[in-house]
Amino acid sequence: MIRLATFLSRGDVRPRLGAVRGESMLDLTASLGGDWDMLRALALPVAELRGIIDRAKVALPLASCHVLPPIPNPGKIFCVGKNSKVHRAELAAKGMLLEDPKEPTSFVKLTETLVGDGARVVRPDGITTFDYEPELAFIISKRAFQVPREKARDYVGAVTVLNDLTAREIQKQEVQLGTKFWVSKNMPGFTPVGPYAVPLAEIADPYDLWLTCVVNGQQRLRVNTDEYIHRIEGIIAHFSRFMPFEAGDVIATGAPRGTAIGQPNAAELYLKPGDVCVAGLEGVMEITTHIVAPGEA
């Protein structure tokens, strides 16, 4: 499986394009030149991309590389909400859902909240209901405007993982006020993404993958992506009627069932300083986030 990465090695001031193979980072920038980036790579047919990777001559120890989000500065991080029937019920039971939408709903996460693998994310002072939301996310590879459902996948370059970290008590206030999660999901570091981009052509079926979340070595959830209500075809077709997606945009497709808020022992499960949260797509990739107290980042 091709796993592309955007990374920094020692002494770099500009991100480099790489491909992960085992415990090595194959430096594609060394082979292709500094004008290559993730989007340019995702525009290639998979067979051509695989040939470039096979011919790469420079291999760095993966452990010595600082892996950034696959798209370090996307134009927008577009999130689909309420996309799991069970998660909807979990939210409604806690007063976090006031409607039963029949079509896709959305909100936006700010690009300045984006962090990569291994990031230290502060649980802000006063927040005690800090939740994890591992999500299947897609990277748009070319401008998508007024796209019909049957052509939607032509505009998707890759899949990745987004952990939609959320301050639940603030989210509840926002729901009650009728606003759209501007604060509860947009605190610093609340959007870990990556660590890799896997070309969509490498995934047999994005709706037969297992979303996972492990905290301090304990599995918190494992849910198949076939439980999503709205899939990427319908999401792109619905929203691109009036709003274009641009190359590099990240579309997160919703939280699964099983996050802390839906559990009877939620107070024990919410993220706390010292926790290590690993969100993943089983067998594809996982992204690790270290939760720290204010002043420890």
Among residues 277, 235, 228, which one has the least CA distance to residue 254? 228
Lowest mean pLDDT segment, chosen from 79-93, 145-159, 168-182: 79-93
Task: Kindly report the backbone phi and psi dihedral angles of residue 267, in degrees, each rounded to the nearest multiple of 5, phi listed first.
Answer: -60, -30
Return the percentage of the chain with pLDDT > 90, whole number. Answer: 85
Among residues 280, 133, 287, 104, which one has the least CA distance to residue 209? 280
Q: What is the pLDDT of residues 111-163, one digit of tens each?
A: 999 999 999 999 999 999 999 999 999 999 999 999 999 999 999 999 999 99
How far apart CA 48 and CA 43 sit, in angstroms, is 10
- Backbone φ/ψ region at 11: left (φ over 0), alpha (ψ -120 to 50), beta: left
Q: What is the pLDDT of residue 96?
A: 59
How far apart CA 126 and CA 61 sit, in angstroms, is 40
Q: Model pTM?
A: 0.94
Residue 116 identity:
G
Q: DSSP letter at 193?
A: B
DSSP β-ladder status, 210-215 and 59-61 = unpaired
Task: Determine the average pLDDT of the residues in 60-67.
Answer: 97
pLDDT band at 98 (very low <50, low <70, confident <90, very high): low
How far apart CA 197 and CA 179 sit, in angstroms, is 32
| Alpha helices, DSSP H, located in 104-231 | 168-177
How far apart CA 163 and CA 116 sit, in angstroms, is 10
CB 135 within 8 A of CB 254: yes
Output the average pLDDT for the chain: 94
Helix (H, G, I), strand (E, B) or coil at 131: strand
Task: Give the CATH architecture of domain 77-292.
Answer: Alpha-Beta Complex (3.90)
What is the Cβ-side half-sphere exposure of residue 156, based on CA atoms within 13 angstroms? 29
Before 199, cis peptide (omega within 30)?
Answer: no
How far apart CA 112 and CA 36 sit, in angstroms, is 23
- List of E strands, 47-197: 59-61, 66-68, 77-81, 105-109, 114-115, 119-122, 130-131, 134-140, 156-163, 166-167, 191-192
Provide the residue ranges of all domains of the chain, joining segments of one domain with +: 4-68, 77-292
